[in-house]
Amino acid sequence: MTLTSSVSLERSLASSTGKSFLAEGKASIRGRGLKGCLNAKLLKGESSREEVESEMSYLLPTVTTKEGIDELILNTIDSVLVLRVGRATDTVCLHLDDVLAKAAREVSKFAKIALIDVDSEEIQAYLKYFDITLIPATLFFFNAEHMKMDSGTPDHTKWIGAFHRKQDFIDVVETIYRGAMKGKLIVTCPLPPERIPKFQLLYKEI
Which stretch of DSSP H or E encloses residue 73?
A: helix 66-75
Q: How many CB atoms are located within 10 Å of the residue 188 CB?
A: 12
pLDDT higher for 56 or 11? Answer: 56
What pLDDT score does 182 carry?
A: 98
What pLDDT score does 199 carry?
A: 61
Q: Give the separation between CA 31 and CA 126, rounded to whole angstroms.
A: 38
pLDDT tens, residue by residue, 74-86: 999 999 999 999 9
Dihedral sign, Cα of residue 143, residue 112, residue 55, residue 43: positive
What pLDDT score does 59 carry?
A: 78
Q: How many CB atoms are located within 10 Å of the residue 83 CB?
A: 21
Where among 43, 58, 73 does a domain terminate?
Answer: 58
Q: Which domain CATH number covers 164? A: 3.40.30.10
Do 10 and 87 sit in the same domain of this protein?
no
**pLDDT band, residue 33 (cuts 50/70/90):** very low
Q: Give the separation between CA 115 and CA 199, rounded to whole angstroms.
A: 20
- What is the mean predicted confidence (pLDDT) over 29-48? 46
**pLDDT band, residue 157 (cuts 50/70/90):** very high
Those residues whose C-beta lies under 8 Å from the C-beta of residue 2, and which sit 6 or more positions away, are 63, 64, 65, 68
User: Mean pLDDT of all residues in the chain?
Assistant: 78
> pLDDT at residue 202 above 50?
no
Do 34 and 133 sit in the same domain of this protein?
no
Do 22 and 81 sit in the same domain of this protein?
no
From the centroid of its chain, how far is CA 16? 23
What pLDDT score does 104 carry?
A: 95
What torsion do the CA atoms of 10, 16, 18, 21 make, to the nearest 10 degrees?
-20
pLDDT tens, residue by residue, 40-73: 444 455 445 545 444 444 479 999 999 999 999 9
- How many domains does the chain fold into? 2
**Domain that residue 22 falls in:** 3-58
**pLDDT band, residue 153 (cuts 50/70/90):** confident
Residue 141 φ/ψ, nearest 5 degrees: -135, 155
- Relative to beta strand 80-86, strand 137-142 is antiparallel
Do 37 and 110 sit in the same domain of this protein?
no
